[in-house]
Amino acid sequence: MDSKLKKLASLIKSKDAKVIFFVGAGISTNCGIPDFRSPKTGLYSNLQKLNLPFPEAVFDINYFKRNPKAFYTLAEEMYPGKYLPSKFHYFIRLCQEKKILKRCYTQNIDALERVAGVHEDYIVEAHGSFAKIHCIKCHTEMDSVTWKKLMKKGIPRCQKCKSYVKPDIVFFGESLPAKFFDLWEKDSKDDFTVAIVAGTSLEVYPFAVLPSEISSKTTRVLINREICADFEDCPRKSDLVMLADCDHAVNKLVDLLGWQDDLEILIEEGKKLIESPATFTLEDSYTTDKKKKTSEAEKTARALAKKVAEVEKVATPGKDDTSVDELIKGIEKIDIKSVRAKK
């Protein structure tokens, strides 16, 4: 793996490097979130208690219409905001800070790319997210606070037409968000220095075809516990395949890049901001507020310390409306250089 990591590091360090990511549940397993298909530990092998006709039924729109209980049994557990991003998530953020990140296509609905401070302009949540909740019949929107309150009493129903409501997660049988197709229309024509595919079995279409459609001028890298899809069926001579734990690979990669301090700073500051006793509502983190556009660190660590104090004051145990937007703003203001200088 080391020679491949050295090759990857030299590509990332090359002049005007452009990096694109294609990721799946495997980049969040080290955060404590099970992936879907890993034998024994994957979500789909632990759903016996739901008596599903087949594991994916939990995310099947036709099954949901008849029996929403299966999904709702998981929804509480899966709702973002309880987990810390992994080193891999923070590596994506570092690529953003170093101005080489071009896009991150993710299949994950845990929003950990956002929580790690990756700006939404770079993120394509191909399988949707918990950002918004709609009625499956009249499409009336429901705010997440009402949704979570109704969830405590049973299966939430639309307050207009009484049909079931669900988060905008893409179920089997539903189409992916327009943003996925619009941006892929553009990105599939672009040349990148490197396309990093990580933590995915590439079993679900149309996401699974993206790495095979990436320009032939782009070096493809797979960082995954197992080989999969095009990397096995239709390998390219330039492919770099690393069968490894993605965080383990990132550890070695940031050493080669000399980014280990920057990674540590992000992880530490992220922990301070995120490990408050409160849980978060994610609405604000999904706001397309253009003022949040820049993610360059604008304020010094002082601003961050002030933010931590504010969040700690607000984030009293049990108060569940601490907005992760404040936390994201705090993370975005981490001025890596000035904090590092202080070390």
Contact residues for ligand APR (CB under 6 A)?
Answer: 24-26, 29-30, 35-38, 42, 56, 59, 107, 127, 199-201, 203-204, 224-226, 228, 245-246
Specify the residue, 37 or 119, whose C-beta has the smaller distance to ligand APR.
37
Selected catalytic residue, list 89, 127, 139, 248: 127
Give every CB contact of residue 41 below 8 A, 6+ residues apart in sequence: 29, 34, 35
Instruction: Look at residue 180 and give its three-state secondary structure.
Output: helix
Q: Which residues contact 231 (CB under 8 A, 6 or more apart)?
A: 197, 211, 220, 222, 239, 241
Q: What is the CB-side half-sphere exposure of residue 49 using CA atoms within 13 A?
A: 6
Shortest distance in whole angstroms from residue 126 CB to ligand APR: 8
Answer yes or no: 127 catalytic: yes
CA triplet 211, 217, 218: central angle to 5 degrees?
45
- For residues 97 and 245, which CB has a smaller minimum distance to ligand APR in the complex? 245
- The enclosing H or E element of 49 equals none
Cβ closest to ligand APR, residue 28 vs residue 193: 28
Rounded to a whole number of angstroms, the minimum distance from the CB of residue 29 to ligand APR is 4
Cβ nearer to ligand APR, comparing 220 with 329: 220
Structure-token pair, residue 197: 């595919």
Q: Cα–Cα distance between 214 and 226 in angstroms, integer?
A: 21
CA angle 148, 289, 325 (to 5 degrees): 45
Least separation in angstroms between residue 99's CB and ligand APR is 26
Question: What minimum distance in Å lies between the beta carbon of 107 and ligand APR?
Answer: 3
Residue 262: how many other CB atoms lie within 10 Å: 21
Q: Could you tell me which of 270, 256, 252, 255 has the C-alpha nearest to residue 339?
A: 270
The three-class DSSP label of residue 31 is helix
Choose between 191 and 213: whose C-beta lies nearer to ligand APR.
213
CB of 270 to ligand APR, least distance (A): 19
Catalytic (active-site) positions: 127
